[in-house]
Every structure is written in structure tokens, then in C-alpha cells.
Amino acid sequence: MTNHSYNRHARQIILASASPRRRELLASLGADFIVEPSKASEEVPADWTPERIVEELALRKAQSVLDRYPGEGVVVGSDTIVVLDGSVLGKPEDEQDAVRMLGMLQGREHFVYTGVACLHKASGRREVRHRFTRVRMKDLTEQRIEDYVKSGEPMDKAGAYAIQGLGALLVESIEGDYFTVVGLPLSLLGEMLEGFGIDLLPSNP
């Protein structure tokens, strides 16, 4: 047996994220996992590309947990950003900032990037990848934006909206992977975990 071929039942997944959305997505696959929130810094240079940002932050989050986790599992880190005209929109600082962001996004297309990192301490194996999805938001009135912001949903979301919640009412269309927009591209994660010997699709005897 090589380092790249593991027993699928012998590897637990450690999700390096406090995000309830990522936890729900992973749970929807019936995966065996535990949650260990990352303490990694999310500061990056202003000149980094979106691809580099999400891959580096996903890697940092996974590495932060790997460094303090004594177990045998595969650590999964993930990071999501919204990009409009080349500018990165993070999480809003307050309601006014959320209104500003949504005012910029309304009636236009933007991109959502999500990076994923998988690390395994014993073998030293690591893999970091990303996906992006194009999203078009509806034309929105100021009142519509304010009503959404008052719901409280945008406050901890990149780009100030959640496509899996009330934010779905603001989105006109997407081109690409829906789960990338939510924050964890499940198809990509499944491919990556297979490289660590973890197959999330149950096999029949």
C-alpha cells in the first residue's frame, strides 16, 4: 500500500472552518468529520490574484489546524471571496458597508472564487485547488437592499449575500458550480479526497 492509497474508512476528515454552511454541506454527503476552527490570519497583499488569495487562505486554514491536530485525519481548509471588476469584496464591516456592497453588485455580474486545501500530516501529502462561478444579481431597489440587510443575513458573508438563504431572491442566474458560491465546491472536494483514499460515495458489496 502506498501513501496515496488509504483505507476509505481509516481516514477521518477534519474541517478547518467554523462556517455552518460548510459544515452543513459536508454533512449532506454523509461524511465522517469533525470541526476544528482555524485561527489563521486572512490578511493578504493587495496585488494577489483571486486564485492565489483563495488557495493561500484555504492552505493557511488547513495548516493552522494540522499543526495542532494530533490525529491521522485529512484536514480540509476552504476560503471564499467575491470579485467584482477585479476588486475583492470581503465580509461587510457593518450594515452600511453591506448596503454599499449590494449596491455595487446589483444588476451586474461578478465572480465567486472558493479555494480548497487538503493536508495529511503522516504522509506529508497536500493538494490545493480552486473553482469559480459567475453570478448575475438582479436589479435591486434601495429599499430591497435595505430590507435584505436588515434581515441580518449578509453580515458574515463575502459580498454581503448568501445564495443558499434569502440572498437567493436577489440572484438572477449563475454559471458554474452552485456549491462554490455557498462556500465549499463538493465535486472538487470529492475529487481531492479520493487522492487521499477517501471516497465519499458509498460502495456496494
Q: Does domain 13-194 have CATH number 3.90.950.10?
A: yes
* Residue 5 confidence (pLDDT): 37
pTM of structure: 0.90
The amino acid at 74:
V
Residues in CB range of 59: below 8 A, 6 or more apart: 77, 115, 117, 119, 126, 128
Per-residue pLDDT of the chain (205 residues; tens, 9 = 90+): 233 333 334 468 999 998 899 999 999 998 889 999 998 888 899 899 999 999 999 999 999 999 888 778 899 999 999 999 999 998 999 999 999 999 999 999 999 999 999 999 888 899 999 999 999 999 999 999 999 999 999 998 999 999 999 999 999 999 999 999 999 999 999 999 999 989 888 776 5
Annotated catalytic residue within 32, 47, 79, 199: 79
**Grid coordinates representing 180?**
462554490
The amino acid at 201:
L
Spatial distance between the Cα atoms of 107 and 79, rounded to a whole number of angstroms: 25
Provide the b/e sequence for 64-98 (b: ≥16 CB within 10 Å). Answer: bbbeebeeebbbbbbbbbbbbeeebbebbeeeebb
* Residue 205 confidence (pLDDT): 59
- For residue 149, which phi and psi values (nearest 5 degrees)? -65, -40
∠ CA(102), CA(17), CA(198), 5° rounding?
A: 120
* Residue 172 confidence (pLDDT): 97
Q: Domain ranges for the chain, please list them.
A: 13-194
Spatial distance between the Cα atoms of 129 and 152, rounded to a whole number of angstroms: 31
Residues 188, 116 contacting (CB under 8 angstroms): yes
Q: Look up 79 and say whether it is catalytic.
A: yes
